[in-house]
Amino acid sequence: MKKLLAGFGVMVTLVAFVCPGGVSGEPPKGSLAAYYLNRGVKNLVRDRYEAAVADFTQALSLNPEAAEGYFHRGIARRYLKQPDQALADLNQALALNPRWAEAYLMRGVIFADQGQLDLALVDYSRALNLNAHLGLAYFNRGIIYLRKGDYDRAVSDFDQALRINPHRAEIYVNRGVAYKQKGQLEQAMADYQQAIKMNPNLAEAYLNRGLLYGQKGEYVRAVADFTKVLELNPKSAEAYKNRAVAYYSQKDYVKAWDDVHRAESLGGEFPPDFLESLRRASGREK
């Protein structure tokens, strides 16, 4: 068995929120609703999601037409893993402001969370029709195309995302995955290298580069990359799984079994034919 298990790699999804206007520590004169809205944004930025929801709800009780309140409350509810409420808030924000590109973008994120890829694709495209400079919308739409196997469109969207945000390592990783799926291995490797140069602590970049080294039969380099992933994320079952296969390919069966056990302890699963090949080659059952 010469190829690595996880041939597709890892896609990194970015999610951002947009804060309309400034954030003030003092209540704007004559606008208590705006005070609660701004305080809610502060709580949202500081990951205090329940407090943010309470503030946005208070703001909306004072001004039910404040689309920003629904928008930001929807973001907070997404982080609280309340997708139905989050979606309802984004729908209301768009009912009040149907030309709000960022609201379509955020609703697309929620649809993608739920696996509703076609609806996410529609919303990301709507966002871009309203604002062609939303790099995150290109990136997230590229992720959808990648998940749907439309690699040419994925590369095109990642190109656009990089034109707008040229310093985001995650975009290079995902474009590299798309190139790899298209069989353009040199371009994939170049993107992984660039991602690592820009962010040496991005575990997904090492994981995907390791997968590509494994595909090329460069198992020593593959092992080094999977080991780096584990330094950055010691609970990565994928890194243990793929390092086990790389060790197997190097005939280092003791280390292969060690990684099999570690991967399985983290919930990782191996194809039965790989485990059978490892048993035969190593002369042991486990």
Percent of the chain residues past pLDDT 70, beyond the cut = 90
Q: Is the pLDDT of residue 17 over 60?
A: no
* 123-178 per-position pLDDT tens digit: 999 999 999 999 999 999 999 999 999 999 999 999 999 999 999 999 999 999 99
pLDDT for res 10: 38
Alpha helix (H) ranges present in the chain? 32-45, 49-62, 67-79, 83-96, 101-113, 117-130, 135-148, 151-164, 169-181, 185-198, 203-215, 219-232, 237-249, 253-265, 272-282
pLDDT for res 286: 83
pLDDT for res 285: 86
The owner of tokens 């329940």 is: 50
When pLDDT is averaged across residues 59-63 and rounded to a whole number, the result is 94
When pLDDT is averaged across residues 182-210 and rounded to a whole number, the result is 97
pLDDT for res 123: 98
For the chain, the domains span 221-286
Topology (CATH) of 221-286: 1.25.40
CA-closest candidate to residue 141, choices 163, 114, 123, 168: 123
* 242-262 per-position pLDDT tens digit: 999 999 999 999 999 999 999
Tokens of 172: 């290079």
241/3: higher pLDDT: 241
pLDDT for res 256: 96
pTM of the model: 0.87
The whole-chain average pLDDT of the chain stands at 90
5/233: higher pLDDT: 233
Q: Is the pLDDT of residue 25 over 50?
A: no
Q: Is the pLDDT of residue 230 over 50?
A: yes
Q: What is the DSSP letter of 233?
A: -
The owner of tokens 């469109």 is: 153
